[in-house]
Structure 1
Amino acid sequence: MSAQLGGQQILILKEGSSRTRGRDAQSMNIAAAKAVAAAVRTTLGPKGMDKMLVDTIGDVVITNDGVTILKEMDIEHPAAKMMVEIAKTQDDEVGDGTTTAVVVGGELLKKAEDLLEQDVHPTVIAQGYRQAAEKAQEILKELAFDVKPNDVAMLTKIAETAMTGKGAESSKEKLCGLIVKAITMVADEDGTVDIDNVKVEKKVGGSIDDSEIIEGMIIDKERVHPGMPKVVTDAKILLLNAAIEFKKTEVDAEISITSPDQLQMFLDEEEKMIKTIVNKVIASGANVVFCQKGIDDIAQHYLAKAGIFAVRRVKKSDIEKLARATGGSVVSSIDAIAEEELGIAGKIEEKKVSGEEMIFVEECKNPKAVSIIIKGGTDHVVDELERAIEDALRVVGVVVEDKKVVAGGGAPEIELSLRLREYASSVGGRAQLAIEAFASALEIIPRTLAENAGLDPIDMLVDLRAAHEKGNKTFGLNVFEAKPADMKEAGVVEPLRVKTQAISSAAEVAVMILRIDDVIASSGKGGGMPSEEEMAAMGGMGGMGGMPPGMM
């Protein structure tokens, strides 16, 4: 980038910096964003395929989850990174619909490219897209129907929709039952759901059907002393955030001992201090101690003699969940130990799960924190199961909070597409073109569902449109029978928030990328665009498989 001044060239940017401007910059960014959308498109829907991602050290991830795929792919290009961001946001907000958000975003940019070629100004397109996105939110709210938070059948359907197409297909019913049970247990009275209160423990071994829910907590630890009981019934649980060991001075201090009997006295005192602490624990009536810090060897011996089950170095998050599950409170000082601080559980047991000792805290009266154990044949199966369960948990949680759902299977997209076309003609002007582009871009979802199931997308779209024009608003694509069907009746439903969030993020990212007309990449190793010499060395564009520079 340079300016001419009296015939002499002045460099403004550092040498080696590259600058792409105008239509080139736009088409380069759009191509990058479209490539990201194309990468996840085949995973959409019940017949979507999985991706196998291998990282630099050879670790393998096999997944169908849009956001996982995009996180694992090491994406360099700045515009492509923006697409990954919308998937992450979608994942944080609702947990599902990541692929939908990215695919719609890519399609919006593709349609915008056609308009740019007809010399429609990017700002006009951006304005039209914004209007269309706002209108789409209104229409979606009309399409939504209510769900009661205690409607287990409906919540199970929602979990099933979220898990369809993921590796957990085979034992979907069992898992969805566990998920709905877990969410209804941890939901607060006001309907808020904190997913962190459902702990998912994965173990390799056994089959998916062996997965189970524990009405309480599972802790990946073992008791501190073999002399302690393996099972405690009617447990009174002390949650301690203080060490059971003798107090050390906070400041540097020296103790000078001049004769052996003084040393013995000193040691006896230390032991007495520990015994006093243990007696306090015993006096409170606790028969189980979960300690966040250490437990001294001598203390272990005394606790074991008193028949108390103790665990040390329990994670802070686990202690907090235990407090929720058992109704106890976390005690931070030895002197504050009292009976009313204790939590209660029907049974605490140390069991071997796939060869590792774990502690089960079960039969809690009103557990506000629960655990799900998932099992599967291999690491990859269990990991993908965990991702599917996380998604389903989030989605069911969102529905319990919002109490609103829409039909799935591409039904809302087709309806939106029709209604936005009507809206476009009422708006008129150049913005009309952009709103129409937005409307046809939404059809990519049912279209992709059809393509992934090996059906003819055009036939399916025509059939779906016809059904919606007759006023069947909940008709979507039944990919198993290759015909439009009522998704609400079939039980294919998704939370309203999945759709509203996906469409608004897709529109935002499309508008953002469209408005960039100048890409200035500073030189410097690692990032940026390849220089012309590097490009020549790669054999022109051919070396990059026709990808825009810096894409991969």
Structure 2
Amino acid sequence: MAGLGGTPVLILREGSQRTAGREAQKSNIMAAKAVATAVRTTLGPKGMDKMLVDTLGDVVITNDGVTILKEMDIEHPAAKMMVEIAKTQDDEVGDGTTTAVVLAGELLKKAEELLDQEIHPTVIAAGYRAAAEKAMVVLKDMAIEVSKDDDDLLKKIAVTAMTGKGSGIARDELSELSVKAVKAIMDEDGTVDVDNITVEKKVGGSVTNSELVYGMVIDKERLHPNMPKKVKDAKIALLNSAIEIEKTEVDAKIEITSPDQLQAFLDQEETMLKDMVNKIVSTGANVVFCQKGIDDLAQHFLAKAGVYTIRRIKKSDMEKLARATGGRIVTSIHDLTESELGHAGLVEEKKIAGDDMTFVVECDNPKSVSIILRGGTEHVVDELDRGMEDALRVVGVALEDGLLMPGGGAPEIELALRLREFAATVGGREQLAIEAFAEALEIIPKTLAENAGFDQIDTLVALRSSHEKGVKTAGLDVATGSPINMEEKGVVEPMRVKTQAINSATEAAVMILRIDDVIASKSGGPGGEGGMPGGMGGMGDMGEDF
């Protein structure tokens, strides 16, 4: 609202609310810190789990940062930015989501202390950016190289990603499955697309019953009971067209005046379907995977010809089948030739946990594989699935980049040490921001110690002392609470997990810091009249409403 000669001039719509300056910064920082606090206790191998219940009463039990933040009904705009960090981290690397969010929260907490000392947000932002750049250089110096032949190290990466994700019982077996699966689908040029690994979850059995299938597992049964249950030396036709009589594009009517004409019409339909099936069989195909529908009569003819058939397969599964069997997806039955068929040593229907599934195995060089995860309850299997997804992603990233980092808070302590030295060489107030960044990084080892039940200060002092003596890989041993060489212990993670977490946390913190004015239009939303909520659903009120 502006005044003009005593007359008030309304700029914003009635009911809109505006928070400016220090007040706006405080509120945004507060919301972001609350999100970080919510996931902080889940960090590390001794992290606790969260139980999330949605409006329908469905329960999710997890300590996976991104899952928690996605399930939480977050309203505050600054808090939503924290959720974005977790999503980006998950998309890029698949692990380290909690680290990224906790780090962003701590960077904002330290920035708030600097703002109280009258340091301008732009100066803090410049210092944070300089510190993040320097951090990338230090991390490169610390990196450990890994090659695709180093199975032992790759397994350790998978174990580190799975630790604390409810899969503690069978980590070694599952890490072996993940390494084998990633190596199987790795392309010649070294790229890894984890989407080519199908993970099927089945309740029943124990975690150790999980298995890797060099080929495809499809959660569907054969179409007709007269079809063979098992086909050896399978020649597979992959069809993207329906095996049924197509309807005309334009509206057309057929006038039938006598019963024999009707019979002739039906006979002709039957002949057309028979011709379609004969065309498939003539190529030598004895297995048909169809993305679309199959007429009941065509099913009968296929069963008579002894062809194992499944219909309505997902597009993504069809693409994986093509990679696994070396076949090509054909959009017209008339174009199907023998050269386009895929090959597998065996296609069979098996019953797993009461469900019939189709196994396409013994493929020559499958570039698509499947993992069947088993567990006692649905919640166990779901959490195993999240752990397995993290493991597959980090092994893939490690193979692509070929660079690792020690875990257990070692990189953060080393970075804090080097950044403090770097801050001394930078003049002016930026130096304070770089020091604040170094302090913020120490939240990771502090949190690891706290979640494992150790004293934060004692742990931090011991870790700093080890690093000052030149032991760059010294991290926290969560069993004893004392520093230990993480590389020797086998606690390692891809370098990209750390670089991505630091970069995205810095960017989000800088963006939130630079906001000094919040204008909320009236929406009558959950935040009351102003529509700009001060609280976050599922986390209680943030304390300050706009």
Instruction: Tell me which interval the TM-score lies in, with the shorter structure as reference length.
Output: over 0.9
| Residue 483 (1) aligns with residue 482 (2) | yes
The answer for the alignment partner of 1:177 in structure 2 is: 176
SS in 2 for 1:290: strand
Residue type of the partner of 1:158? Answer: I
Amino acid at match of 1:470: K
Q: Which residue of 1 aligns with 2:274?
A: 275
Q: Residue in 2 aligned with 1:330?
A: 329
2:186 aligned partner: 187
Pick closer, same or farther for the CA change 1:247–1:515 going to 2, 3 Å: closer
Q: Deviations over 1:87-128 (max 9, x none)?
A: 110001000000000001010111111111111111100100
What is the letter of the counterpart of residue 46 of structure 1?
P
Q: How far does the alpha carbon of each residue in 1:391-426 deviate from its partner, in whole angstroms, 9 at most, with x for none? A: 111111101111111111000000000000000001
CA shift in 2, pair 1:23/1:247, >3 Å: closer
Q: Distance in 2 between matches of 1:146 and 1:110?
A: 35
Work out whether residues 182 and 213 of structure 1, in 8 Å CA contact, stay in contact via their aligned partners in 2: yes
Match in the other structure for 1:452: 451
Which position in structure 1 is the counterpart of 2:418? 419
* Partner Cα distance (1:171, 1:133) in 2: 37
**Alignment partners' CA distance in 1, 2:513 and 2:301:** 70
What does residue 495 of structure 2 align with? 496
AA aligned opposite 1:196 = D
Q: Distance in 1 between matches of 2:56 and 2:333?
A: 47
Flag structure 2 segments of 5+ consecutive residues without an equivalent. Answer: none
1:547 and 1:62 mapped to 2: Cα distance? Answer: 27
Mean Cα deviation higher: 250-259 or 214-223: 250-259
- 1:18 and 1:529 in contact (8 A); partners too: no
Query: Residues 521 and 528 of structure 1 are in contact (CA less than 8 Å); yes or no, is this contact kept in structure 2?
Result: no
Residue in 2 that maps onto 1:292: 291
CA contact (8 A) 1:105 1:507 kept: yes
Deviations 1:163-184 (A, max 9, x none): 0111111111111111111100
Q: Does 1:53 align with 2:52?
A: yes
Q: Within the alignment, does 1:379 sit opposite 2:378 as a pair? A: yes
- Tell me the secondary structure at the aligned position of residue 322 of structure 1: helix
Give the TM-score of the pair, scaled to structure 1: 0.96
Q: What is the 5 A alignment of 1:113-192?
A: 113-192=112-191
Report the 3-state secondary structure (helix = DSSP H, G, I; strand = E; otherwise coil) of the residue aligned with 1:16. coil
Any idea what SS the aligned residue of 2:115 has?
A: helix
Separation in 2, partners of 1:529, 1:405: 48
Structure 1 counterpart of 2:253: 254
In structure 1, C-alpha distance between the alignment counterparts of 2:246 and 2:103, rounded to whole Å: 61
Q: CA deviation at 1:519?
A: 1.3
RMSD between aligned residues: 1.7
In terms of mean alpha carbon deviation, does 259-268 or 384-393 score higher?
259-268
CA distance in 2, matches of 1:402, 1:545: 43
The separation in 1 between residues aligned to 2:513 and 2:87, in whole angstroms, is 21
Distance 1:308 1:446 in 2: 60
1:530 Cα deviation from its structure 2 partner: 5.3
Q: Is the 8 A contact 2:15 2:529 kept in 1?
A: no
CA gap 1:118/1:389 in 2 versus in 1, 3 angstroms:
same
1:354-369 → structure 2 map (5 Å cutoff):
354-369=353-368
Partners of 2:103 and 2:502 within 8 A in 1 = yes
Q: Is residue 90–residue 97 contact of structure 2 (8 Å, CA) maintained in 1? A: yes
Residue 545 (structure 2) pairs with residue 549 (structure 1): yes
1:4 matched residue in structure 2: 3
**Structure 1 residue 31 displacement after superposition:** 0.9
Provide Cα deviations, 1:12-55, integer angstroms capped at 9, x if missing partner.
11222222111111111111111110000000001000001111
Shift of 1:546: 6.3
User: 2-side partners of 1:62 and 1:135: how far apart?
Assistant: 38
The AA in structure 2 aligned to 1:419 is R
1:259 is displaced (CA, Å) by: 2.4
**Between the two proteins, what is the percent identity of the paired residues?**
69
Secondary structure of 1:167 counterpart: coil
- Equivalent position SS for 2:217: strand
User: Which whole-Å deviations, capped at 9, do the CAs of 1:58-87 have from their partners, x for residues lacking one?
Assistant: 111100100111111111111111111101
In structure 2, how many angstroms separate the alpha carbons of the residues matched to 1:341 and 1:295?
Answer: 20
In 2, Cα distance between the equivalents of 1:243 and 1:164? 46
- Equivalent residue runs for 1:82-101 within 5 Å: 82-101=81-100
Aligned counterpart, 1:341: 340
Structure 1 CA distance, aligned partners of 2:4 and 2:365?
Answer: 79
Whether the 8 Å contact between 2:203 and 2:377 is mirrored in structure 1 is yes
Q: Look up the SS of the partner of 2:167 in the other structure.
A: helix
CA, structure 1 residues 484+530, in 2 after alignment: closer, same or farther (shift >3 Å)?
farther
Q: Does the 8 Å contact 2:524/2:530 carry over to 1? A: no
After TM superposition, the runs of 4+ consecutive aligned structure 1 residues lying more than 6 A away are none
Q: For 1:226 and 1:526, how far apart are their aligned partners in 2?
A: 55
Say how many residue pairs are matched: 542
Structure-1 separation of matches of 2:283 and 2:246: 21
Report the residue type matching 1:492 in the other structure. V
Q: TM-score under structure 2 normalisation?
A: 0.97
Contact 1:239–1:319 under 8 Å retained in 2: yes
C-alpha separation in 1, matches of 2:246 and 2:275: 12
Separation (CA, whole Å) in 1 of partners of 2:353 and 2:59: 22
Bigger shift: residues 272-281 or 61-70:
272-281
Q: How does 1:520-535 map to 2 (within 5 A)?
A: 520-526=519-525
Contact 2:167 2:387 in 1 (8 A): yes
1:337, 1:7 → 2: CA distance?
83
Counterparts of 1:505-520 in structure 2, within 5 Å, are 505-520=504-519
CA contact (8 A) 2:419 2:435 kept: yes
* 1:120-168 CA-partner distances (Å, limit 9, x unpaired): 1111001000000011011111111210022111110000000011111
Q: C-alpha separation between the residues in 2 aligned to 1:498 and 1:483?
A: 24
1:150/1:184 contact within 8 Å kept: no
Q: Report the CA distance between 1:548 and its aligned residue.
A: 2.4
Rounded to whole Å, the distance in 2 between the matches of 1:60 and 1:338 is 50
Cα distance in structure 2, aligned partners of 1:524 and 1:336: 57
Structure 1 position 257, deviation (Å): 2.2
Contact 2:86–2:98 (CA under 8 A) maintained in structure 1 = yes
Please tell me whether the aligned partners of residues 241 and 330 of structure 1 are also in contact (alpha carbons under 8 angstroms): yes
- What's the CA shift string for 1:464-515, capped at 9, x where partnerless? 0110011110110111121100000111001000000000011111111111
Q: Provide closer, same or farther for how the CA distance between residues 529 and 106 of structure 1 changes in structure 2, counting only shifts above 3 A.
A: farther
Q: Which AA in structure 1 matches 2:513?
A: L
Tell me the CA shift for residue 529 of structure 1.
6.1
Instruction: Write the distance in 1 (CA, Å) between the matches of 2:356 and 2:483.
Output: 51
SS at match of 1:48: coil
Offset at 1:246?
Answer: 2.7
Corresponding residue for 1:438? 437
**How far did 1:258 drift?**
2.6
Amino acid at match of 1:152: D
